[in-house]
Structure 1
Amino acid sequence: MSTRFTIARLGAQGDGIASADGGEVFIPFTLPGETVTAARQKDRATLMSVLEASPLRVDPACRHFTECGGCALQHFEAEAYRQWKRERVAQALRAKGIACAVDALVPCASQTRRRVVFSARRTETGMLLGFVRALSSEIIPIKECPISLPAIVASLDRLRRLAALVCATPNAFHMTVTVTASGLDVAVQDAGKLGENQRRIASNFVMAEGLARLSVDGEVIVEPKKPVVQFGSVAVALPPGAFLQATEAAEQTMAGLVGQHLSRAKKIADLFAGCGSFALRLAAKSEVHAVEGDAPALAALDRAFRFASGLKRVTVERRDLFRRPLTFKELNGFDGLVFDPPRAGAEDQSKQIARSDVPLVAAVSCNPVTLARDLRILLDGGYQLKSVTPIDQFLWSPHVEAVALLEKPRRRR
């Protein structure tokens, strides 16, 4: 049974929100001002029809939109979409009492995502490869993906064939595909234990199809070519399943903002350094101490530095910054700092930064809410917020990156 709703605004996940008996109802794929019919299930509803469309409604770019569980906002006019994403960051700052002008959103082009996580499962009719429908376990097989690099889309059939070769489970599993300078790097998770014959057949397939590497649950099965990406002038060989910013353009934008802000610093701390996307660029002008909890990522960073030329000294430290953040006394040895934590943010580390004398700080985040919390800590510790730049690298999703730049005058000792 469908009910008529009027959409008041968009929620944090991009769903339209309507008022109804019993509270608010979240209706995906709707826009403010629209009148729609939807089938309600408690506080959520499935869109049935749009009776009165918003003038900001546009035709989606993909045939799989509304089904595949990936994009949430392909129906939203581009400029309005960008304003909405910018406002997400501004709203999170206001909620923490932070008054700061937020720069215009740095937009994301289509066909630029270089790292995609597919879901796969063997069925009676064949191998499914695609994305999981929202709030469901159903895998929607895909034939196109306008957010992804063409190299990934062109390889959908062979990736589906590879998924069938490595599948050793009746359950769904994941396949992370990364475009590198050497070709596609494929990391499979939870596909089951491969037998020797499976390994041999999968290895032959990878080599015949020109893929760079196949790993299963972190173990390299075959690596015809070392998967390599560029961080500035430095080539980095990625470990299996390594974190990598979703688009190269967004990574370069973030690195440019951070590098310009820290250009006067002679000694920089890079916290949550990953494989070195900031550290190795910053080392062109400054000494860098890179701190990261993931051992393979840190080893890749260190190896890249040792084989590079023309860089200042880079030191590495394996350390869980959630359990053991760098203390303010340790931080006082640096005159610049960048931190780029996971979505949970860096609350405890921010408390130590706030007590430190580091004059230049760059905070990078994929979560406006935890970024605002961490910035509040830094501001209360005497830092001044110079700028906040939102960056879109997850096109047509509610996710938004941001780079915040801060300064603190040196305290006399």
Structure 2
Amino acid sequence: MNQHVETSLELKIERLGHRGDGIAPGPVFVPYALPGETVLAEVAGERGRLVALQEPSPDRIEPFCPHFTHCGGCAVQHLSVPAYQAWKRGLVVEALKQAGIEAPVEPLVDAHGRGRRRATLHARKGKVGFAEARSHAIVELDACPILVPELNRGLEAARALEKQLRGLGKPLDLVLTATITGLDCDIRGAGRVDDKMRLRLSDLARQFDLARLSNHGDVVIERRAPVVRFGTVEVSPPPGAFLQATAEADAALTALVRGGLAGAKRIADLFSGCGTFALALADAMHVQAFDSDKPAISALDRAARRAQGLKPVSATVRDLFHRPLLAEELKPFDAVVFDPPRAGAEAQAKRLAAAKLRHIVGVSCNPTTFARDAALLIAGGYRLVRVTPVDQFRHSGHVELVGVFERR
């Protein structure tokens, strides 16, 4: 079939894909269609556009956001809660199955809480918002119901920043983070700005009471240090630093990691960022943290030095993709937690497989790369005791998970 020619077809949707698309035989991927539905769709190649529902699913519910199906931020607001939870857990089950791994998968943990505390807004040609699904076009937003209220209040500041920088003629991304002490904003894509522009941006930061405003990591003005809390420890992360999407996910993931490290006295935290697990666990364990991000490691180190009542914490800059910790270097530890980016930690997993650790806990936002890395650990003599999916990216196809491994 010519992929540029659309054909009207009646399709029976069999299942929901990992991105939230309904999948009909072919396969044909139809966004916003649900399993069991008969739909009329305009089809070009493997892509279908939902035109009409012939037979709706009993699991279909009314979306709560007026931008749903237009904005690309959410994929599955139209699915009932039980079916949604089963689908999200099923993403983890299927990834493990594809890798030939058998392990208990716990029920999905809801960690949405008050909403996402971090968002990247796109600014293009006078518009500020999220991208349309599978498009670079921008859906302008006055508010987003899945964000914490503090971020929604930051939309006005984002529009003012876009207006000030519009003359640069560059597409911008505005990384907003809601912290305990106020909004942190890092502008991406503006390039180097002159002193006059920095003064104007500083004025806007004051006008909208931003805690900090940066331009691709270069601090323009810091009126208050942005602060987040890991366990009982307060940290000031560098501009645009990685954080879990919700504060509730921090707590849920940390509890699961702590449970998987029961009895450990000295641990290594690999891909530690600015201390999500290292600082929260240091109330009971000696922790050595490793990450390639120097500003994040510096933030972790500063926070550990200021905190009271912690076991010893050390923080080391190291690129674990190119210089994974070797089995010999892992000998001082009785357990490891690793939380890599979406690409996973294949090189490090091979070294962990050769180490004689009592416990390993893997945290991942990508079930497929987790399953690949888990297979390496299992081949090296570890047993995957349990996997717990955690939902901090509600209404999307993204799912976090925690996997607990023990030496056989």
Give the corresponding residue for 2:181.
182
Q: Deviations over 1:201-247 (max 9, x none)?
A: 11011112211111111111111011110001111001011000001
> Are 1:30 and 2:33 matched, yes or no?
yes
1:27 alignment partner AA: V
Matches within 5 A, 1:1-400: 2-19=8-25, 23-109=26-112, 111-122=114-125, 127-400=126-399
Q: Call closer, same or farther: CA 1:139–1:165 in 2, change over 3 Å.
A: same
1:203 alignment partner AA: S
Tell me how far apart the structure 1 counterparts of residues 165 and 278 of structure 2 sit (CA, whole Å). Answer: 36
Residue 154 of structure 1: how far off its partner (Å): 2.6
Tell me how far apart the structure 2 counterparts of residues 13 and 407 of structure 1 sit (CA, whole Å). Answer: 32
1:142 alignment partner AA: L
Residue 193 of structure 1: how far off its partner (Å): 3.4
Q: Which runs of 5+ in 2 are unaligned?
A: 1-6
Residue 168 of structure 1: how far off its partner (Å): 4.5
1:129 alignment partner AA: V
TM-score (norm 1): 0.95
Tell me how far apart the structure 2 counterparts of residues 164 and 227 of structure 1 sit (CA, whole Å). Answer: 24
Q: Is the 8 A contact 1:169 1:192 kept in 2?
A: no
TM-score (norm 2): 0.96
* Equivalent pairs, count: 402
Q: Is the 8 A contact 2:113 2:247 kept in 1?
A: no
Residue 199 of structure 1: how far off its partner (Å): 1.4
1:13 alignment partner AA: R
1:14 alignment partner AA: G
Q: Which runs of 5+ in 1 are unaligned?
A: none
Tell me how far apart the structure 2 counterparts of residues 121 and 221 of structure 1 sit (CA, whole Å). Answer: 22
Residue 143 of structure 1: how far off its partner (Å): 2.1
Tell me how far apart the structure 2 counterparts of residues 346 and 180 of structure 1 sit (CA, whole Å). Answer: 29
Q: Deviations over 1:43-89 (max 9, x none)?
A: 11221221211110101110111111110000111110011000110
Q: Call closer, same or farther: CA 1:101–1:147 in 2, change over 3 Å.
A: same
Q: Percent identity?
A: 47
Q: Is the 8 A contact 1:110 1:395 kept in 2?
A: no
Q: Is the 8 A contact 1:118 1:131 kept in 2?
A: yes
